[in-house]
Amino acid sequence: MMELTGKIEQITAEAEALGCYTEKGAVLKDYTTFKIGGKCDLLVRLNGEESFARLIPLAEKLGVPYYIFGRGSNLIVDSDGISGAIFVSGTDFSDISLIDDTSILCTAGTPLSRLCIFALDNGLSGLEFAYGIPGTLGGAVYMNAGAYGGEMKDVVASVRVMDRNGCIAEYPADKLDFSYRHSRFTESGEIILSAVIRLKKGDKAQIKAQMDELMEKRRSKQPLEYPSAGSTFKRPEGSYASLLIEQCGLKGVHVGDAEVSVKHSGFVINKGNANFKQLMELIDIVKKTVKGKTGYTLECEPLIITDKKL
């Protein structure tokens, strides 16, 4: 424990020298949309490529465990806390610029909503589907986020990445291994620094109307009034998680404040003070019931961050 404390001090000093915001003992529920998660040893908000290039290889060299967070909108974090460092790639690393008539260069921490509005302001179409997904560009590329018939793979032209030793590379779209909620980054562990997004010229009024329509769909169908990580389960081959959950009579089933939403059965929500244990218990009940009654295997979509062996 003493050993980790000294290493955390070294990372903190380096981060502060780079002008990054640091927070020892940060409470991670404040950094996730589920509003669940205990303390970590250190949280650092990365503020530029140099902060990635200096701090991540340093954590590697010191053997300090660490995670990269974007907006924390697809994460389930242990309420008992996480040892090590959390590096947040968020609004402190958020830059957007036009490269040419139809291409945008965007850093990983940029909120997708900001990117969508930038595209709209420049009369560029293709990202309407992403408006309302509450993540960052980095998290969206990592997950190949998608909705309403669109996916990141349709618009990402290339990605600039860094490996965990600080080596930088650029991959074109055909090297990104995109599939449903999957990219090469799911396995490679590389860090996404920025991406080029290629869109088409469009009519601003039409783009806006489409964005507004999709946002309204979200508001009317999804329990946005409660903390969650969006869809809790991936779509199983041949069916829909929400349909199976509803057919199994699981709407409204809860463990403590963790509840299968009545408004949208694909969402597990935090109705107040749900903790990690209750959430995992409820997810397990849903998986077992659906398997038992329908034969379908449900897989959790959000990534689970815990020191425990599950």
Ligand X SMILES: Cc1cc2nc3c(=O)[nH]c(=O)nc-3n(C[C@H](O)[C@H](O)[C@H](O)COP(=O)(O)OP(=O)(O)OC[C@H]3O[C@@H](n4cnc5c(N)ncnc54)[C@H](O)[C@@H]3O)c2cc1C
Q: Supply the residues annotated as catalytic.
A: 181, 231, 301
Residue 266 in the binding site for ligand X (CB under 6 A): no
Residue 265 in the binding site for ligand X (CB under 6 A): no
Residue 89 in the binding site for ligand X (CB under 6 A): yes
Q: Which is nearer to ligand X, 45 or 71 (CB)?
A: 71
Residue 139 in the binding site for ligand X (CB under 6 A): yes
Residue 147 in the binding site for ligand X (CB under 6 A): yes
Q: Can you tell me the distance from the alpha carbon of 273 to that of 36, in angstroms, rounded to the nearest whole number? A: 8
- For residue 260, what are the contacts with CB-CB under 8 A and spacing of at least 6? 245, 250, 251, 252, 253, 254, 267, 268, 282, 286
Alpha helices in the chain (DSSP H): 2-17, 49-62, 112-121, 137-143, 185-188, 204-221, 241-247, 276-294
Yes or no: say if 46 and 92 are a contact pair by the CB < 8 Å rule: yes
CB of 293 to ligand X, least distance (A): 26
CB of 242 to ligand X, least distance (A): 13
Q: What share of the chain is helix, strand, coil (3-state, %, to 5)?
A: 35, 25, 35
Q: Which is nearer to ligand X, 33 or 125 (CB)?
A: 33
Residue 75 in the binding site for ligand X (CB under 6 A): yes
CB of 51 to ligand X, least distance (A): 12
Of the residues 37, 38, 146, 266, which one makes contact with ligand X according to CB under 6 A: 146
Site for ligand X in 185-244 (CB under 6 A): 185, 191-192, 222, 224, 228-230
Strand partners, 87: 44, 68
Residue with tokens 């081959």: 237
**β-strands 124-125, 146-147 pairing:** unpaired
Q: Can you tell me the distance from the alpha carbon of 4 to that of 17, in angstroms, rounded to the nearest whole number? A: 20
- The residue among 57, 120, 33, 75 whose CA lies nearest residue 305 is 75
Q: Which is nearer to ligand X, 8 or 88 (CB)?
A: 88
- For residue 165, what are the contacts with CB-CB under 8 A and spacing of at least 6? 57, 60
Residue 84 in the binding site for ligand X (CB under 6 A): no
Residue 108 in the binding site for ligand X (CB under 6 A): yes
Residue 133 in the binding site for ligand X (CB under 6 A): yes
Q: Which is nearer to ligand X, 241 or 292 (CB)?
A: 241
Rg (alpha carbons) of the chain, rounded to whole number = 20
Residues contacting ligand X: total by CB under 6 A? 33
Residue 102 in the binding site for ligand X (CB under 6 A): no
Residue 298 in the binding site for ligand X (CB under 6 A): no
Stretch that binds ligand X, among 21-29, 144-152, 172-180, 244-252 (CB under 6 A): 144-152
Residue 176 in the binding site for ligand X (CB under 6 A): no
